[in-house]
Chain A
Amino acid sequence: MNTTFKSHASLLLFLFSLFLFVPAAPAHADELTDQINKLAEGGFNDRQKMIEALAATGDSRVVPALEALGDGMLYQQKLGGKVFIVERAGSDFKLIDPVTLEDAGKMPKSALEKIKVNNRLRRTVRDALGGLQLNSKNAADRLAAAGAVFQSRDPEAIPLLDAAIAKETKADVKKVMLEARAAAVLSSDLDENAKLEAIKVIEERSGRDSRSLLLNFANTAEGKLKTAADESAGIIERSLAAWAGVQNVWYGLSLGSVLLLAAIGLAITFGVMGVINMAHGEMVMLGAYTTFVVQDVIRTSYPQLFEVSLLISIPLAFLVAGAVGVAIERGIIRWLYGRPLETLLATWGISLALQQTVRSIFGPTNQEVGTPDFMSGAFEIGQMTITYNRLYILVFALVVLAALMLVMKRTPYGLQMRAVTQNRSMAGAMGIRTDWVDALTFGLGSGIAGIAGVALSQIDNVSPNLGQSYIIDSFMVVVFGGVGNLWGTLVGAMTLGVANKFLEPYAGAVLGKIVVLVFIILFIQKKPRGMFALKGRAVEA
């Protein structure tokens, strides 16, 4: 190699003058560089030997060069014979030293020649890389390598895997390696018992790709192996179906928790007080905008508090929306008690005015509300993924509901509230200030809608129209669950959420929603007061 290098020295000088800067490889990597340079020599057979030789070094520095070779991004200079990893940079190639990964200037395409690979070589490269990666110091690399072997099912990887498994200390990586080995065993010519064992391993791995692997294997296998593979594929299939069901339930509960959050406040104002509050959605929106403002202040003034921005927003959103609620009740709604249809129209007017207020202040566009770290990301259970923000929202919705129930059932204020709802004049005769109870109850319902806004700002666009998209759903939940019954609201929200998600795969998202709406319309015909209707004389009042 050195001789070639020298004989072209004068030409190289000429190239230097043309391209100003092509640094020579550092001396300490010489031996490896030489080996990589040899990749360009000879035919495909020679190249394969060189790849294997490179893999045998066990040196992780050869990985980039091999990857580039597999991707067809390894080129040889026509003059000088040096090999580089290239990156496209306009019409030129950017050269990267294959060992040190240092920038080695640019060159036009015409001065370079691609080192050709065929499919057989690509496989060799992949295996070589797999073997190298399997022995990597980084656990994530080893995991990825084992995963790659599972996909390629190359029997030749078995000895490599065996060696790696023997050394492996981490249980989860080892498990993946064993699974990869099982996959490789199935496509090897090992004996029946080894394969039966492998089938069991893959069956335990479960998942869609395990199933297709087993089915593929069953197509070619015979006798005992075939039945075993078919059986295992069936078991996986059933577990997959079960997981899909579980996943749907989870999605449904997640949607249900959103509906629940949006509807809890309405369950108070509409369910308990009987006020048709069409501005309910706007209370949710106010909560979401409170979150936005809190985060804005935190970003500019106290960036270290960002992680707790939502916790700060919750009480503030409650106060903002609650205060607006009390103002609405004192200013408008109290004049309209006993005239539900007029209340409906007046609160619709309020909702228009609130929307336009927010639009005038913040503009019509969506506002960016950030997600704190503890709410981002996801984890896996079996075959399904659960994102943290959805999980937190579900928990949060249940906590809010529980807190509200405590207030209703265990505090003097809750007692007064229920008394006023059941018999206003009697409650007044007992010395309860019914008008204040009304105002506070409406404020409570509105405040809870505000809290819901904090949570919904994490999963929905914060825009002036935010509330509009929830108002119909919220009413459906409350009416479906039974007016004046918080448990009904919980069951209603979760039922509708799950029903929606189970319909979606068959009918599509939009049609699913339509079906649910039609169902509710029909349901109300049958049970006009919802699933869990209040009974007794109070209902008729």
Chain B
Amino acid sequence: MTNFIAGALGIRSYVFIAVIAAIIFVVGFLNLAVPETSSFYMSSYVVSLFGKYLCYAMLALAIDLVWGFCGVLSLGHGAFFALGGYAMGMYLMRQIGTRGVYGHPELPDFMVFLNWKELPWYWYGFDMFWFAALMAVLVPGLLAFAFGWFAFRSRVTGVYLSIITQAMTFALLLAFFRNDMGFGGNNGLTDFKDILGFDVQSDTTRVGLFAASGIALVAAYLLAQAIVTSKLGKILIGVRDAEARTRFLGYRVEHYKLFVWTLSAMIAGVAGALYVPQVGIINPSEFAPANSIEAVIWVAVGGRGTLVGAALGAVLVNGAKTVFTGVLPEVWLFALGALFIAVTLFLPKGILGLANQIMNKRRERQATGASAQPQEAD
């Protein structure tokens, strides 16, 4: 492990971890310790907003892991994110207990409303946090495993895979809209009260969730970084750049793909589980194919295959979205559309890629007489 930290973590990783840690402390301090009257005070709304960005950053990280390093463009990662969110939402629903509108000790309000008599079997166990947390990882993981097992084994690649991942999330969208699925239909799950005994509305809980999101993001980053810098990561890049050649070299390409695909879905599930208590609702619109595609553009903006860039892109794009939709709501879709086009046409390596290029050029100029072309760091 020390070897890994010393060898694999570049300066960029340390900066990333330091920035996240700093943000957690600053946000926590500004929200909890600074008095509300101060102009430095940060409202809980902003804390949750930042927490949301961190969850999106984690989703982007998950997408970058499969797209940036394995060449699998998923247009359905929003589905894994939403599934993780639903698992957490179910736990939070069970925590409401008798405080719901109908005051039923076991059934969530919408089930009482639909005249259901008892809890469906797949809701069992969600009153325990550990179970819900496990499910938030396992359910997306299992779905991804099953999906990937079929898809990679039969060598569905490229845009075909993208399109069927889109079909997958679309099918889930339709399914979760159905009332008799038992997930609250189009209203989804909301009106949460407690998480682990803490009030989800209180400032300390919000800062706690925010910090948890930051820590989870760093953990996911370290995990992803460990994978991509290992030998496994080299093979993944080989699959990305020349799948057939890697196969002919004797590697079971589909196993590598399946592993990283499933892992990525699990990370997305954790991101979703952290997202739900902070925004206070989960509904089927999270499955909308447009959401998943938007998540892909976060990665593209930040820089595909850079991990840090993906997180950065998610925060930047969503920050811009918050600003735009508040100030000029009709311009946002134009801006987003233009972003899609501009990034693919002019910034194929994203912001970090551009920064790398500039740095490399400078290094090239400094190292006069160096014959070798500088390698682009991925």
Contacts and interface: CB of A to CB of B under 8 A. Distances in A.
A341 interface: yes
B333 A356 contact: yes
Nearest to B151: A525
Nearest to B163: A475
B20 interface: no
A276 B171 contact: no
B167 A472 contact: yes
Contacts of B75: 344
A540 B283 CA distance: 41
Of the four ranges (under 10, 10 to 19, 20 to 34, 35 or more), the interface on chain A belongs to 35 or more
B352 interface: no
Contacts of B151: 525
Contact of B154 (A517, A520, A526): A526
A518 B168 CA distance: 7
A349 B167 contact: no
Contact of B155 (A342, A356, A528): A528
Interface string A332-358: 100110011111111011111111110
A510 B180 CA distance: 12
Interface string B155-183: 11011101110111011001101100000
Contacts of B330: 356, 359-360
Interface in A487-533: 510-511, 513-514, 517-518, 520-522, 524-526, 528
B344 A345 contact: yes
Contacts of B153: 525
Contact of B341 (A346, A356, A359, A360): A346
Given A344-B159, A352-B336, A360-B330, A517 B345 contact: no
A526 B155 CA distance: 10
A188 B4 CA distance: 98
Contact of B334 (A332, A353, A520, A525): A353
Contact of B170 (A344, A345, A353, A517): A517
Of the candidates B75, B171, B174, B290, the one having the most CB atoms from chain A within 10 angstroms of its own CB is: B171
Given A356-B330, A528-B155, A521 B337 contact: no
Of the candidates A339, A356, A479, A526, the one having the most CB atoms from chain B within 10 angstroms of its own CB is: A356
A339 B147 CA distance: 25
B341 A510 contact: no
Contacts of B297: 345, 348-349
A352 B166 contact: no
B289 interface: yes
B340 interface: yes
A524 B175 CA distance: 21
Interface residues of B, number: 43
A351 B337 contact: yes
Interface string B251-289: 000000000000000000000000000000000000001
B337 A352 contact: yes
Contact of B339 (A349, A354, A360): A349
Of the candidates B174, B290, B341, the one having the most CB atoms from chain A within 10 angstroms of its own CB is: B341
Contacts of B290: 468
Nearest to B330: A360
Contacts of A317: none
B68 to A, nearest CB: 11
Contacts of A335: 345
B90 interface: no
Contacts of B341: 332, 346, 349-350, 353
Contacts of A349: 297, 336-341, 344
B93 interface: no
B73 interface: yes
A472 B169 CA distance: 11
Contacts of A511: 175, 178
Of the candidates B174, B300, B330, the one having the most CB atoms from chain A within 10 angstroms of its own CB is: B174
B348 A528 contact: no
B160 A528 contact: yes
B354 interface: no
Given A276-B159, A342-B348, A352-B333, A524 B164 contact: yes
A260 B84 CA distance: 36
B167 A344 contact: no
B296 interface: yes
Given A345-B300, A353-B334, A517-B167, A524 B160 contact: yes
A18 B226 CA distance: 99
Contacts of B162: 276, 341, 344
B150 interface: yes
A272 B244 CA distance: 24
A346 B164 contact: no
Contacts of A351: 337
Interface in B288-316: 289-290, 293, 296-297, 300
B345 A521 contact: no
B338 A353 contact: yes
A521 B296 contact: no
A344 B73 contact: yes
20 contacts: A276-B162, A336-B345, A341-B73, A341-B158, A341-B162, A344-B159, A345-B297, A345-B340, A346-B344, A349-B297, A353-B334, A353-B337, A353-B341, A472-B166, A513-B171, A517-B170, A521-B164, A521-B171, A524-B164, A528-B154
Given A276-B159, A345-B343, A511-B175, 10 more contacts: A341-B158, A345-B340, A353-B337, A475-B166, A479-B163, A514-B174, A514-B175, A517-B168, A521-B167, A528-B155
The 9 closest A-B pairs by CB, nearest first: A349-B340, A353-B337, A352-B337, A356-B333, A517-B171, A349-B337, A346-B344, A525-B154, A342-B344
Interface of A: 276, 278, 332, 335-336, 339-346, 348-357, 359-360, 468, 472, 475-476, 479, 510-511, 513-514, 517-518, 520-522, 524-526, 528
